[in-house]
Amino acid sequence: MARLIDQSKIARIHAATLGLVVENGYGGASISVIAKKACVAEGYLYRFYSSKQELVTSLLYEKINNLIVKLQEYMVLHSDICKVIELLILELFDQAETVQDEIRFIHVLIHDYNFQISDSQREEIKIICEKVIELGVKNGQLRTNLSTEEVYTMGIVYPIEFINLRIKGFFGTNGWNEEDKQKVVNFCLNSLK
């Protein structure tokens, strides 16, 4: 038998891809640069992915799925829908603090025209949003005429957009503190109440 596949190489390719996409966008993350950063041969990733597009897409799928799973866990644990939304937003901040790249990776690719969230994930997100509305309305925590888009936008898009504004220092302020986080939570929740 031949030697075993070195899993650390794959992990390194993943990490390098993530970092380079975040830093330079999809176009700026070329195979040769990814391979160099991962200390791996240029053609190596083609043993696992049929193309650069597939590599990045599968990575995106995974990161989004992590969020979906987290969100579903919250919904199982809490009947208080405001708590669920708060936990989700704080999770986004938390990821941005600890593994900053992951949240920016999603942010970059979600707005890139080479990509789109898979239909199944989009459907999952839609269903979750509808469940949020149903539960929130039932126990009187949310407005009755909420749309899927409003929940999605204020639960995910707004916080991610805020985080990126702060990471880029768009209005001169970099980073955030506990008060900022709570302010975002309240802002998003209020808009849905």
Partner DNA sequence: GCATCATGAATGAACAATCATTCATTTAAA
Partner DNA sequence: TTTAAATGAATGATTGTTCATTCATGATGC
Name the residues that contact DNA, by CB under 7 A.
1-6, 9, 29-33, 39-44, 46-47, 50-53
Q: Closest by alpha carbon to 9, among 49, 61, 54?
A: 49
Window 84 to 103, contacts with its own copies (CB under 8 A): none
Residue 44: which of DNA, its own copies, none does it interact with, CB under 5 to 8 A by kind?
DNA
CA distances 163 to 97, 100, 171, 176, Å, are 10, 10, 12, 8
* Contact call for residue 80 and its own copies (CB under 8 A): no
Query: Is 78 within 8 Å of 84 (Cβ atoms)?
Result: yes
Nearest to residue 159, comparing CAs of 113, 105, 96, 102? 96
Residue 43: exposure state from Cβ atoms within 10 A (0-12, 13-18, ≥19): exposed
To the nearest whole angstrom, how small is the minimum distance from the Cβ of residue 54 to DNA? Answer: 8
Q: Minimum distance from CB of 106 to DNA (Å)?
A: 20
- Applying CB under 8 A, the span of 3-11, 33-41, 46-54, 145-153 interacting with its own copies comes to 145-153
Going by the DSSP 8-state scheme, the letter that residue 154 receives in this structure is I
Query: Residues 13 to 42: which contact its own copies by CB under 8 A?
Result: 23-28
- 33 close to 20: Cβ distance less than 8 angstroms: yes
According to CB under 8 A, which residues from 117 to 136 bind its own copies?
A: 122, 126
Among 6, 12, 106, 9, which Cα is nearest to 57's? 106
Task: Name the residue nearer to DNA (CB basis): 54 or 62.
Answer: 54
Residue 161: name its binding partner from its own copies, DNA, none (Cβ under 5 to 8 Å by kind).
its own copies
Interacting residue ranges for its own copies, rule: CB under 8 A? 23-28, 107-108, 111-114, 116, 122, 126, 147-150, 152-153, 157-158, 161-162, 165, 168, 170-172, 183, 187, 190-191
